Every structure is written in C-alpha cells, then in structure tokens.
Amino acid sequence: MRITIRDVAREAGVSVATVSRVFNDSGPVGEETRQRILSIATRLRYTPDGAARSLITRRTNTLGVLLPDLYGEFFSEVIRGIDPTAQRSGYHILVSRAHNDKREIEAAMRAMRGRVDGLVVMSPDIDAAALVANLPDDCPVVLLNCVVEGTDYDSLNIDNFGGAYAMVTHLLGRGHERIAFIAGHERNHDAAERLRGYRAALRNARAESKKEWERTGDFTESSGYRAASEIAALSPRPTAIFAANDSMAIGALSALREADLRVPQDVAVAGFDDIPMARYMSPPLTSVHVAIGELGERATRTLLHAIEEKNQHAKVQDTLPTTLVIRQSCGGDHRG
C-alpha cells in the first residue's frame, strides 16, 4: 500500500497542510513538530509526490545540462563541476547530449520543459530561434562556450583566443618556425577562436604560415591521429604541432610514434584544455590549462542565482582565463 501525506498527518496528529509546509519549506512550523513529522515520514517510508510538489512550489529542484557529447574527459570534468555545486544547493541534474545535431538539440530542450528549473547549454549549433521556440520565456539559461546572437542570457566562455595566441607565441619563442595546427569543428566557437589565436600569433610575429599546415579535426583522438600523420609526411615538415584540444594532441602523439618521429626532438606537440590525462602521457603533454571543473561550477552558480532572482537579474557575460602548462612534449620541464 502506498503511504500518502494523509497517513503521515494522521500519525503525527497534524493537518495535511502542516505536513505539506514541512516538505515544501513553504511556511512556519515549530521545530519539534517538524522533527516529529520527518521522523514519522521516515518510519513510514513516505516519499513526497515530486509532480504535486512542483505544482505547489513551481520548482522541480532539477537543473538541465545540455552538452554536445558525454564522451571524453573534458565533458566529465564539466559535469564534475556542475553536479556537486547543484547538490550543495539541493538540486539534482538532468543531463542530455545532442551530438551537434540541431534536431536533437531542440528535442532535448522540449523534453526538459517543465522538468527543470533552469538550463546550462553547451552547443555550437544552438541559435536564438531554437532557444525561443523550445523554452519558456522565463526559463533561466546559461550559455557555456557558445555565442548566440540576439538573446539575453547569462554566458560563460573560455579565453580561447588568448590561450591559443599564448601557446603559439611560446612555441615561436622556443625556436619553432614551422608550426602546424589541428583545428576542431568549423562551426564550433571554441575551435574558431583557437584557430584565430593561432593565426594572429603567427601574423603578429611575422612567422611563416601555410595553408597545408592547418588540418581539420573533430576534437577526437582519431582525427588528431589522421591529421598528424598527414603533417608528418609534409616536406619540409613542421617542427611543432599545436592541436585545438588535448584529445587530438594525444592522437597526434600516437601518429608521430608510428612515423618514428621523436617528441619533442623531431616534432614538439601541444594541446588545449589540460585534461587530467595530459600529465600522464609519454611524454607529458604541454597544454593550455582550462579550469574545466571551475567552468561547470561557475555556470551552475550563475544558473542558481538566475533561478533565485526569477530570471529578472542583470545578465552576465564572463570569460574564464587560461594559462600555459609547459611539459616535456614541447621540450619544457615537467611541471605538473
């Protein structure tokens, strides 16, 4: 037999409204009464009806998280930043992936309507029309690493341009005159900004630049492997490869080993993101460090603030800074 709120109220000798106030935290109840109700509810194994509760409080205590993928350490670290931050505030998360497919993104947003109190969105293919059409007007949204023109949402981005610019400048400073680049998805905001930083650093240093040194990947190890294999066959061969993320840099390390090229003696390699695995590669991977967990944590704190303010707050557009972590893959010391 299913235990109801009426059973708890009868056992505690209080009204149904009093029990409801305890579980919805919606009104004053004496501490002794509150503890008695909670104790009886535990003994009877009473579970509040989440749907009914959300109708009363207009809260689901759930945050939606829409990511382009769930595979890979970057996304794992983002979720690791989001989940504990949400739980500390009494929220759970509902995670969905959309594989950069516009129809899947819109379907995921529709599925979350009414089930979440706010949404963190990371998707290169999201646009203003999709957000407006598939989410309620008052739904708090934090855009993570994506730029959507014509909207008024909180957003948090990585300093992709600055990080890439700094890494190329570092490689030039180590004497590399031929620096290849493995880019990410063309439509991806992060990828476009990292490519822009690479090109700007070469241009401002008046360093040599060739189209054949730019190879397109898709942020996976296999695409980094393919691109590095092509770069290794060039003549003259670039002396450094900068990949737009660590996964592609890891694939590049494998391709260079198979080509009997030493890293960093023959070809230096650098990545972007500084995922936890980077320091354990052989050789340890130089990378542009992004505080990935902090990215998820800050996005969650921003979303929780928007929820508390009923989305009537002044929207923020923040940028997370990056730093270089120099390790042995580009001839530097192994410093963590």
DSSP lists the bridge partners of residue 65 as 95, 120
| Angle, helix 246-258 to helix 73-88, in steps of 10 degrees | 150
DSSP lists the bridge partners of residue 98 as none
- Give CA 69 to chain center in angstroms: 10
CATH 3.40.50.2300 fits 160-291+324-330, yes or no: yes
Region 144-149 average pLDDT: 76
For the domain 5-57, what is the CATH code?
1.10.260.40
pLDDT for 26 equals 63
Q: Which of the listed ranges 41-50, 105-114, 265-274, 324-333 does the model predict with the highest average pLDDT?
A: 265-274
- Over residues 260-283, the pLDDT tens digits come to 999 999 999 999 999 999 999 999
Structure tokens at 203: 């241009």
Establish whether domains 62-158+293-320 and 160-291+324-330 are of one fold: yes
Rounded-to-integer distance, Cα 21 and Cα 34, Å: 9
Domain boundaries, the chain: 5-57, 62-158+293-320, 160-291+324-330
Among 54-68, 146-160, 206-220, 303-317, the minimum mean pLDDT is found in 54-68
- Over residues 101-121, the pLDDT tens digits come to 677 777 888 888 778 999 998
pLDDT for 55 equals 42
- Over residues 192-204, the pLDDT tens digits come to 999 999 999 999 9
pLDDT at 185 over 70: yes
Answer yes or no: are the C-beta atoms of 113 and 316 closer than 8 Å: no
pLDDT for 205 equals 96
Among 20-24, 47-51, 261-265, the minimum mean pLDDT is found in 47-51
For the chain, what is the mean pLDDT? 87
pLDDT at 315 over 50: yes
Looking at per-residue confidence, does 256 or 46 come out higher? Answer: 256
Answer yes or no: are the C-beta atoms of 219 and 243 closer than 8 Å: no
For the entire predicted model, the pTM comes to 0.78
Give, for 215, the enclosing helix (H) or strand (E).
strand 214-216
Task: Look up the CATH superfamily of 62-158+293-320.
Answer: Response regulator (3.40.50.2300)
Structure tokens at 170: 């570092």
Share of the chain above pLDDT 70, in %: 89
